[in-house]
Amino acid sequence: MNEGIELDITAEYAVNLSLVEIGIGSLIHASNIPFGGQILSINQGLLLTHVIKLLKTDHNTGARACMNISTISALFKSLSPAGKKLGPMLSISAQGFLFSIGIFLGGSGLVGVILGISLLSIWAFIQPFITLYLFFGHNFIEAIQFYLAKMEKYWGLPIKDQFMIIIGVIFFKMVIASLLSILVFKRRGERFFYQPPKWTSRSMIEVEKDASNMEVVKSSLKDIFKPFFLFSFLMMMVFFIFNRNSLAEVIWMGLRPLAIAFLFFFLSRHPLVYRSFSKLRKKGYFPNQFKILDKAKEKLKNLKSEEK
């Protein structure tokens, strides 16, 4: 495929994925819609499926395009003036990498697409555990063992069966995602992927405006009271109370993850994130990534002028 055409398609769909991730993603997170991350991960897989169908190319080019689209979309997320950045950037990049592995191994046909979206589907289950482990350290592993043992004791549900339920849920998502990817790959059209809803572009009109430190602090404090973190924190506090003798130790074990979480939320929203990534512009593999990013920003400016 002509390099210029591949560049155009990659830039175009990096913008499209970014609009959905930042526009619809912000709506999902603001509304605290259950399983929002799972929905967004499937959406990314379906958009990449559409790109593979559109490119009609070999597995190397297809895998590279999917990885580039995901990486550029993640970089766009760092440009967003609102919302968390590090977590979504990791998620978008990791899912793009997993989808690309599927295309590289299975080819740019239906087999590769199904393998890719199946691998991608797993990440949304893994990342929350990585984040919580970062906040709570090894205590988080101990807490999981504690609650699994309690469920086995009081509900009569063996630990093996509990793991089978978790695996079943993951497998169910993989099947649903695979069926949807087959539908996208076989059907013509899919206007949603060609052009996301116009209202999503409003979320990126001021994409290069830096948020102030006070705005970042306020948003970071709000993150601590989001249902996912609040529920996890309360569950950990129950674990600490049952397993620590000293009240001072319980308080310390509770305050430490709060401080770590706030620092993580603050850094994940700060404009410094993008500035740090921009330093990679001339290093190694990244010049090509930033070339696509610049092309994508051009397309975004065109969207902004259309809005006016």
pLDDT digits (tens, 9 = 90+) for 118-139: 999 999 999 888 888 888 888 8
Mean pLDDT of the 217-232 span:
81
Average confidence (pLDDT) over 60-83? 78
Using alpha carbons only, give the angle 153, 159, 161 rounded to the nearest 5 degrees. Answer: 115
- pLDDT the model gives residue 205: 44
Calculate what percentage of the chain has a pLDDT beyond 70.
Answer: 72
pLDDT of residue 189: 61
- Kindly give the interhelix angle for 213-224 and 247-269, rounded to the nearest 10 degrees: 130
Reading the block at residue 56, the tokens are 């009609």
Per-residue pLDDT band at 101 (split at 50, 70, 90) = very high
Q: How far apart are CA 117 and CA 44, in angstroms?
A: 9
Asked whether the predicted pLDDT for residue 270 surpasses 80, the reply is no
Minimum mean pLDDT range among 89-98, 188-197, 209-218, 252-261:
188-197
Distance CA 153, CA 225 (A): 31
Global pTM value: 0.78
The answer on pLDDT for 283 being more than 70 is no
